[in-house]
A and B are shown apart, each in its own frame.
Chain A
Amino acid sequence: MADDLTLLWRQYRFERRLFWRNPTAAFFNFLLPLIFLALFGAIVSGHRHELEIIVPGIAGMSVMSTTFTAMAYNLTFLREQGVLKRMRGTPLPSGIYLGGLALHAVTNAAIQLVIVVLAGRLVFGLGWPSDGVELVVFAVVGVVCFSSLGVALSHLIPNFEAAPAIVNAVFVPVILVSGVFFDVKNVPSFLRDIAQALPLVHLVNGLSGGLVAHHGGLSQHLTALLVLGVWAVGGVIVGVRGFSWDARRE
């Protein structure tokens, strides 16, 4: 057990070190949500209600992009490059290798959440998070849910060239219908129904409760937790069952 933890820690450190060794990629990885935040923040600047929608929305989007998008991309890349297969041939337990990758993604999600919270406070004059417990609970559940869905999606991507198109075809519509940039109350009901079935809107609601809520708390968002939990279980099942260590052959 102690040995496994040591191995996991080393693998995690290895991933982090290599991530920062490509500073351009790392920089733009963190810049994208900040660009969105700056743009939409400028548009609704001074309107507190809109800001309180945008900031949790961007926070939810950040969790999704650092876990779902990143895991789907990375796993496809590593699989097609043959890195997964190489690792599979070493004594390093598979679970520890994948755990290192997941922890790496989770760290990026945490960094982005901190950046978004700080920007909300320092740039847009929102308060500090109103409910730390709710914020952390939803961040954790959201990260697990979207990481597993990212692994699951990677199974559907046939080769790395197809990865950006497929990942964006999922990511962009989901963030648009899920109220990242506007209040879901103003959306046609059929779109709202679709959004309600998807996990992101529930993550945004939960994060919103933790960041800017004026009422309620965790108990107000049990349904949201349940939906995220169901998606997480589905993601884990598909992610584990369909896992391929080998590049697809024609």
Chain B
Amino acid sequence: MASTPAIEVRDLRKSYGEFEAVRGIEFTVTRGEIYGLLGPNGAGKTSTVEILEGYRERTSGTVSVLGHDPGERPVDLRRRVGIVLQSSGIYSQVRVAEVLRHFARFYPNPRAVDEVVELVGLGDKRDERARRLSGGQRRRLDLALALIGDPELIFLDEPTTGFDPAARRTAWDTIRSLKELGKTVLLTTHYLDEAQELADRVAIIKGGQILAEGSPAQLGVGESSRYRVAYLEGGEPVVTQTGDPTALLHELTSAALARGERLEGLSVTRPSLEEVYLELTADG
């Protein structure tokens, strides 16, 4: 069992009428991995994730989640998966620990309510009613409700949208702690830094297709296998892109030495994930 991937998607397609929102997406998420789907709004992320969660039916392709077809909505799958939706309400009058206790009874082997409350950092809000929680606290309650059944696989759809920087850091720590617990996480985000911080591997999606896939570091190097070499010449910045920085540097430094000059402001950088992302998802 442990050897089967957590998620396997092959040639997934989803059409709404004439519009094809997902156009042949393929990826595999191994167990224990945090996998990020990164892309602008309308890229097909939500359609893809909601097919995996069992909310939508696919038009074609094969999908396997923990060995099940989510389209059949098997109860065994729903017991082993936790879902944090982009936005989902909760009964406004319910108390934090109370709703967790209630949800815990849906699952065969739930985690202890106290443990989950602490994990998401709502320890001092146990008896607070949901309507009195701040936006960020309610988001943490969403996460707590997804974790209460002790799932193997957790879907996180835009988990920190609307958070202030400190709250995001805290949420990231919580998500990293899921990995330490051996959980698999499928993370959807349009924040690059979030993908870079958390994901072991990232797929960049646009127009219903995966444009690039790899670890955040690999994507920086691999996709546009170029280095950027910059220096000052007569006070003016010069920027050169190259696939072979060693040769270029040798050339530049030899020439400078021959002239008896220094190469002012010399730097060699790889494009960041952000640059790759912006380049890949640019219109036109």
Nearest CB in chain A: distance from B6 CB, A: 17
Q: With an 8 A cutoff between CB atoms, is A48 at the interface?
A: no
* Total CB contacts across the A-B interface at under 8 A: 52
A86 and B89 in contact, given A91-B149, A245-B55 (Cβ under 8 angstroms): yes
Q: Per-position contact with A for B54-67: 1 when CB-CB < 8 Å, else 0?
A: 11000000000000
Chain A residue contacts of B79, Cβ below 8 A: 91
* B 144-202 contacts with A by CB, 8 A: 145, 149
Contact among A14, A82, A85, A89 with B102 in the assembled complex (CB-CB below 8 Å): A14
Given contacts A89-B83, A90-B78, A245-B55, contact A83 B91 (CB under 8 A): yes
Residue ranges of B at the interface with A (Cβ–Cβ < 8 Å): 53-55, 75, 78-79, 81, 83, 85, 87-91, 93-94, 102-103, 105-107, 145, 149
- Structural contact, B75 and A93, CB atoms closer than 8 A: yes
Contacts known (A90-B103, A90-B106, A91-B75); A85 close to B55, Cβ less than 8 A: yes
Contacts of B149 in A (CB 8 A): 90-91
Interface residues on A, range: 20 to 34
Contact of A89 among B85, B89, B93 (CB under 8 A): B85
> Per-residue CB proximity of A85-114 to B under 8 Å, as 1/0?
110111111000000000000000000000
Using a CB–CB cutoff of 8 Å, the interface residues on chain A facing chain B are 7, 10, 14, 18, 21-22, 78, 81-83, 85-86, 88-93, 245-246
Residues in B neighbouring A10, C-beta threshold 8 A: 102, 105
Write out the residue numbers on chain A whose beta carbons fall within 8 Å of the beta carbon of B89: 78, 81-83, 86
Check B102 against A91 for contact (C-beta < 8 Å).
Answer: no
| A89 and B103 contact, Cβ closer than 8 Å, known pairs A82-B87, A82-B88 | no
Query: A-B pairs with the 4 shortest C-beta distances?
Result: A81-B89, A82-B88, A89-B83, A21-B93
Residue on B with the closest CB to A80? B89
